[in-house]
């Protein structure tokens, strides 16, 4: 038996050592990958546990810098601390499943625009974000006047769940002053601005009453009063770019016409209609809107356009 094995070895020596070398190579590679993964896991645990410990110990987690990402603005240390306090309070309410406590930290504009009831807040935000206990990471995104927006990443809280999950939920939270109190605009809603801009065209009177800023789009609230004796159609929807806003750099941003039913674009004689029209423009304080343009407007049988200076 031993003689047969020795004979087999000598006849197949090169192949045997090639196989042994391959096995050793594979084992070394597996060990290297395991070491890399262990180091990565330890880093994730360290970062996430640090945030979790901040929450658990009521120690505020401050953004790493006072400078905003998208502008040259800076946040004072005092405001940074106060803003971080209320964001921490909001997350703590979430982790405690205190829906009402979290809801009470929202600004009135945020409630009016997005979460008019506690149930709506729970269904459309709270239960999704706080489906598990969260640690979080903050980054100063933009600051102007008494308003600062932070990019927040809701992280898996390893201390609470005992499991590692690299996925996170990202949001933009804006801290504002309301009745001498800090309040929050969440779900990428930045702020609302009251406007009083008017225009008219052949008996169609238009009033722009408000503008809502979001992280990745903006909304204008516009009232159309048809004082003519003809039916007005605001847009035929034959082209997606016939309604747009134009900014100070002459760049156009088209509307989301598919979000408005066709029947709402038709205004009969003597009728008034208020619409919230969304435009595909990411928030940028450096590029102010100058006009809202309706270039496919139909008044009776006549096709015309309407420009609203804002």
- For the segment 158-212, what is each residue's pLDDT rounded down to a tens digit? 555 445 556 899 999 999 999 999 999 999 999 999 999 999 999 999 999 999 9
Please tell me the predicted confidence (pLDDT) of residue 59.
45
Residues 51-107 have pLDDT tens digits of 444 444 444 455 655 555 555 667 888 989 999 999 999 999 999 999 999 999 999
Quote the pLDDT of residue 142: 92
**Is a pLDDT exceeding 80 seen at residue 232?**
yes
* pLDDT tens digits along 133-161: 999 999 999 998 889 999 999 998 655 54
CATH class of the 77-187 domain in this structure: alpha beta
Question: What predicted TM-score, i.e. pTM, was given to this entire model?
Answer: 0.77
Domain 191-309 has CATH 2.60.40.1240: yes
Q: Structural domain boundaries of the chain? A: 2-53, 77-187, 191-309
What is residue 12's predicted lDDT score, i.e. its pLDDT?
Answer: 62
3-state secondary structure the chain: CHHHHHHHHHHCHHHHHHHHHHHHHHHHHHHHHHHHHHHHHHHHHHHHHHHHHHHHCCCCCCCCCCECCCCCCECCHHHHHHHHHHHHHHHHHHHCCCHHHHHCCECHHHHHHCCCCHHHHHHHHHHHHCCCCEEEEEEEEEEECCEEEEEEEEEECHHHHCCCCCCEEEEEEEEEEECCEEEEECCCEEEEEEEEEEEEECCEEEEEEEEEEECCCEEEEEEEEECCCCCEECCCCCCCCCEEEEECCCCEEEECHHHCCHHHHEECCCCEEEEEEEECCCCCCCCCEEEEEEEEEEECCEEEEEEEEC
When the pLDDT of each residue in the chain is averaged and rounded to a whole number, the result is 85
């Amino acid at each position: 038996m031993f003689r047969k094995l020795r004979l087999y070895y000598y006849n197949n020596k090169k192949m045997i050592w090639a196989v042994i070398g391959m096995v050793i190579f594979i084992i070394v590679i597996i060990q290297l990958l395991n070491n890399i993964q262990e180091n990565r896991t330890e880093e994730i645990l360290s970062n996430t546990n640090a945030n979790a410990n901040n929450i658990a110990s009521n120690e505020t987690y401050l953004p790493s810098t006072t400078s905003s990402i998208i502008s040259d603005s800076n946040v004072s240390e005092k405001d940074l601390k106060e803003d971080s306090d209320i964001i921490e309070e909001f997350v703590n309410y979430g982790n405690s499943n205190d829906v009402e406590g979290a809801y009470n930290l929202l600004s009135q504009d945020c409630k009016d625009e997005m979460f008019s009831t506690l149930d709506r807040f729970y269904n459309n935000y709270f239960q999704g974000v706080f489906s598990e206990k969260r640690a979080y990471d903050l980054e100063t995104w933009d600051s102007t006047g008494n308003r600062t927006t932070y990019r927040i990443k809701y992280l898996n809280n390893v201390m609470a769940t005992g499991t590692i999950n690299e996925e996170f939920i990202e949001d933009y939270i804006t801290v504002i002053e309301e009745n001498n109190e800090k309040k929050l605009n969440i779900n990428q809603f930045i702020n609302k601005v009251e406007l009083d801009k008017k225009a008219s065209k052949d008996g169609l009177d238009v009033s722009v009453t408000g503008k809502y800023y979001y992280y990745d789009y903006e909304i204008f609230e516009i009232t159309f009063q048809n004082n003519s004796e003809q039916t007005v159609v605001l847009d035929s929807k034959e082209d997606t770019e016939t309604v747009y806003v134009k900014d100070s750099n002459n760049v156009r941003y088209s509307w989301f016409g598919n979000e408005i039913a066709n029947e709402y674009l038709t205004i009969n004689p003597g009728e008034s209609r208020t619409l919230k029209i969304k435009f595909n423009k990411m928030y940028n304080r450096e590029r102010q809107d100058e006009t809202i343009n309706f270039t496919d407007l139909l008044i009776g049988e006549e096709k015309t356009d309407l420009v609203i200076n804002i």
